[in-house]
Structure 1
Amino acid sequence: MKNYSRVFKGTAFTSKSPTEIHILKDYLFCIDDIGMIVKVIAPAEQEYNAILKTYENKVQTLKEGQYFLPGFVDLHVHAPQWAQSGTALDIPLYDWLNRYTFPLESRFSDLDFAEKVYREVVSTLLANGTTTALYFATVHKEASLLLARFCAEKGQRGLVGKIVMDNPDQTSEIYRDADTQTALKDTEDFIIAVNELAKTTKQGVYPVVTPRFIPSCTDEALKGLGELAAKYDTYVQSHCSESDWEHGYVKDRFQKNDAFALHDFGLLREKSVMAHCNFLHDDDADLFVKTGTAVCHCPISNAYFANSVIPIAHLHSKGVEIGLGSDISGGFSPSIYDNARQAVISSRMLEDGVNTSLPAKERGVPNSRITINEAFYFATASGGESLSLPIGRLAENFAWDVQIIDTTVATAKLPIFEEDLQDIFQKIMYLVRPENIIEVWVQGEKVHSRY
């Protein structure tokens, strides 16, 4: 018998496929000292009782009404924007950025202010079940490093990008990089510093090359960032074909869509995640598949700023990797549960249509809807695949990143009355609130507890 650091016992839900949930009733999950799932054992297996007996002092057993879910992967968070969540979501994107967002982000030159916001956003996401987050920071190198350090300190798997914004034609003088060379040097310094921090961080922190989006960057900066991504084999993140305005701006500037422009600069690669992508054409999607680039679907934010509903089912059918993102604060909620719910709602609206002046058969886009099972897959297993990391599944050789859900919490009790486990899973996905998330573990370490 192998030597396990901890053993967990309980019923778990994890993705079997994009459309199927694997229900593991009363299973054992055996974890090693680096926080990986070494063994998953069903009650009928011969060693089940032997392990319970051998590790009786190291077994954590769930109570009635409690369940394991994989930790969520949030592929698009603007960490500084936590300070403006819930503000000005009724104005156009261009105005929202210039009147609210950029002035706020310019304040992160103040490290005391950055510390307050960044500590809180990491803790808030953990409390909402997000164990891995892909963060945009700001143009400020030191504040961006502070965010990476807080992820390391609080135990969240953080992928952090120092934003680059050097284009004076599209960025305010109050908030942009001093010049292109400074932007590139600060990015390289940031990559080196985060890679050094990662050496002492169990769950992993990662630097991310982050052109905010094409409008905010000069050609020289985009080229230099692509070269840095290749030199250090880093992750890359940006916004891509998000709205009518951004999509149109890039076409006017380069006479091609976002995807091909980004690719020309070396910014579409196996470790690339592009947020939104509502206006991707089929040839753009094919390029994403060819390069291994993932799409981050931000359904709440899209409802406010994207001018469309992304055909997520179609993109997935073409083989594009899909994950979910909260897009704080274009999305008001830090909860991936809320975004999974909205992903289902938006897909159904796209399929059925919204313009009642049209006949029902002409109103929507056929075969656009997704199920809650698929939304859960995007939030977990597919999010892990998008980052090429062994996360998002409760299976052997994956990290022990879990949420423990208690459906019996007095202030947030779920209406469960003798349903089967498949129905209980759906109720969890649609009804869970932060009060129900009683523990969160990342890489075998407890990082959040309500008790």
Structure 2
Amino acid sequence: MKTYAHVFQGTAFTSHTPKELQILKDHLFCINEDGIIERVAAPGEDGYDDILTTNRVHRLSPGQYLLPGFIDLHVHAPQWAQAGGALDVPLYDWLHTYTFPLESRFADIDFAAEIYNDMVGTLLANGTTTVLYFATIHKEASLLLAEICAKKGQRGLVGKVVMDDPAQNPVAYRDQDTPTALEDTEQFILAVKQLAPSVKQGVYPVVTPRFIPSCTDGALKGLGELAAKYDVHIQSHCSESDWAHGHVKERFGKHDAFALHDFGLLGDKSVMAHCNFLSEEDVSLFAKTGTAISHCPISNAYFANSVIPIARWMDKGVEIGLGSDISGGFSPSLFDNARQAVISSRMLEDGVNTELPANERGVSQSRLTIDEAFYLATAGGGESLSLPIGRLAEGYAWDVQIIDTVIPSAKLPIYGDEPLHSIFQKIMYLSRPENIREVWVQGDKVHTRQS
């Protein structure tokens, strides 16, 4: 009988489809040396007992459950230093008064190391095993973020940000010029690709125009060409707010989606954050090109001036995952963001203006369930990145969080013989970082909570 690097025995929750939750009771998860789930065995299945007798088994304790590691599709890593502050001003003012001055400080590599080490560790402690990161315009500090992900065991997709338009960006924080921005981006791509073979869980370079208002046409065109040349991921912001959406319409006479597409920035490795103002035509373009949406429900409540109809876009076949958007979103927890995704969708469906009749107040068929929000935080994120992550299934990376529902400091209200689906819902709505006992990435334990 084959022996494995690790075998886990316990009950797990994982998404089969956006609307279908799988509950795997007392299953065995067999992990190979590469950190991949090689076999999943159910009780009573041929070989189940043999696996138990021929392997050292990690048996979950009573009250513990397995969830896939969360996948955060939108984090501004430098903004961790301002998380929880300055959320009461419009987006443009927030960027120029608070965010750009902070990000300019990442020219100091020691300052960058302090923030980035804390950011990566905090996300791991919150059950986030894969992150799509915006760094800053600084090539060296951006590479440092990739190196920290590699060292701490997080799967990091990292972008050196491009902001080259002197008319839109402050003197103290922008790329020197377009050729420099493109040269630095290419050097960054090559450096991360050189690092990647030594990293078990993977690190990836990402082409990252901050958003259309911050970039010249030359930079956008050049970044599209670099993404094609090196076959790397692409990320940006798309139609986030009234201001950003209006800027692009005035500049190009079209929406962000079509402008980005013209520059070669949409494709099956592209993830666009927010996307609150997409039209039906924009959504069709996303579905056709394989471009994914990072839904950032907490951040959208502060800066997007709207609620995105995620349920409708999912039904149109667009790949969608969840993003915290630190620090436009204050919380590093995708549990919090999954909850807000549900709350926002219900407000969109039911409406908020009580001066209107109930049947005219909202947008029908907008509601998300917590099962669907869980899908966005896990399998939806993996599909958005075109990586085998986000599911507890054969052929997927062993990225998991072990949730302890009976820890004394954060015991969940589970009594008697509750249905497992009810327990899942309580985990999703009530879990705090204290409940995350262990976090594993690609078969390696990267976080343990001691108390």
Q: Which TM class, normalised by the smaller chain length?
A: over 0.9
The counterpart of 1:380, out of the listed 363, 369, 378, is: 378
Give the Å deviation of 1:369: 0.4
Give the aligned partner of residue 334 of structure 1. 332
Alignment of 1:16-415 (within 5 A): 16-55=16-55, 58-415=56-413
**Cα distance between partner residues in 2 of 1:314 and 1:233:** 30
Number of residues of Structure 1 aligned to a counterpart in Structure 2: 449
**Cα distance between partner residues in 1 of 2:357 and 2:209:** 43
Asked if structure 1 preserves the Cα contact closer than 8 Å seen for 2:3 and 2:54, the reply is no
Please tell me the residue identity of whatever aligns with 1:2.
Answer: K
Mean CA deviation greater in 214-223 or 42-51: 42-51
Please tell me the residue identity of whatever aligns with 1:370.
Answer: L
Give the Å deviation of 1:2: 2.8
Asked if structure 1 preserves the Cα contact closer than 8 Å seen for 2:3 and 2:51, the reply is no
- Please report the TM-score for the alignment, with normalisation by the length of structure 1: 0.99
DSSP-derived class of the 1:415 partner: coil
Please tell me the residue identity of whatever aligns with 2:3.
Answer: N
Give the aligned partner of residue 432 of structure 2. 433
Give the aligned partner of residue 12 of structure 2. 12
DSSP-derived class of the 1:390 partner: coil
Q: Aligned residues: percent identity?
A: 74
**Cα distance between partner residues in 2 of 1:106 and 1:2:** 53
**Cα distance between partner residues in 1 of 2:405 and 2:168:** 48
**Cα distance between partner residues in 2 of 1:2 and 1:286:** 47
**Cα distance between partner residues in 1 of 2:6 and 2:345:** 40
Structure 1 runs not aligned, ≥5 long: none
Asked if structure 1 preserves the Cα contact closer than 8 Å seen for 2:349 and 2:366, the reply is yes
**Cα distance between partner residues in 1 of 2:385 and 2:170:** 32
Give the Å deviation of 1:44: 1.1
Give the aligned partner of residue 2 of structure 2. 2
Please tell me the residue identity of whatever aligns with 1:51.
Answer: I
Asked if structure 1 preserves the Cα contact closer than 8 Å seen for 2:69 and 2:130, the reply is yes
Please tell me the residue identity of whatever aligns with 1:44.
Answer: G
**Cα distance between partner residues in 2 of 1:238 and 1:395:** 30
Asked if structure 1 preserves the Cα contact closer than 8 Å seen for 2:260 and 2:266, the reply is yes
**Cα distance between partner residues in 2 of 1:231 and 1:128:** 35
**Cα distance between partner residues in 2 of 1:286 and 1:335:** 31
DSSP-derived class of the 1:169 partner: coil
Please tell me the residue identity of whatever aligns with 1:94.
Answer: Y
DSSP-derived class of the 2:198 partner: coil
Mean CA deviation greater in 43-52 or 335-344: 43-52
Give the aligned partner of residue 444 of structure 1. 443
DSSP-derived class of the 2:396 partner: coil
Give the Å deviation of 1:19: 1.1
Please tell me the residue identity of whatever aligns with 1:436.
Answer: N
Give the Å deviation of 1:46: 2.3
DSSP-derived class of the 1:327 partner: coil
**Cα distance between partner residues in 2 of 1:432 and 1:20:** 21
Structure 2 runs not aligned, ≥5 long: none
**Cα distance between partner residues in 2 of 1:163 and 1:187:** 8
**Cα distance between partner residues in 2 of 1:345 and 1:243:** 20
Give the Å deviation of 1:114: 0.1
**Cα distance between partner residues in 2 of 1:394 and 1:199:** 24
DSSP-derived class of the 2:17 partner: coil
Cα RMSD of the aligned pairs, angstroms, is 0.5
Asked if structure 1 preserves the Cα contact closer than 8 Å seen for 2:156 and 2:203, the reply is yes
**Cα distance between partner residues in 2 of 1:141 and 1:304:** 30
Q: Deviations over 1:59-92 (max 9, x none)?
A: 1000000000000000000000000000110110
**Cα distance between partner residues in 1 of 2:123 and 2:54:** 36
Please tell me the residue identity of whatever aligns with 1:312.
Answer: I
**Cα distance between partner residues in 2 of 1:355 and 1:169:** 39
Q: Deviations over 1:388-433 (max 9, x none)?
A: 1000000000000000000011111100012110000000000000
**Cα distance between partner residues in 1 of 2:16 and 2:422:** 16
DSSP-derived class of the 1:199 partner: helix
Give the Å deviation of 1:20: 1.6
Asked if structure 1 preserves the Cα contact closer than 8 Å seen for 2:154 and 2:441, the reply is yes
**Cα distance between partner residues in 2 of 1:20 and 1:294:** 20
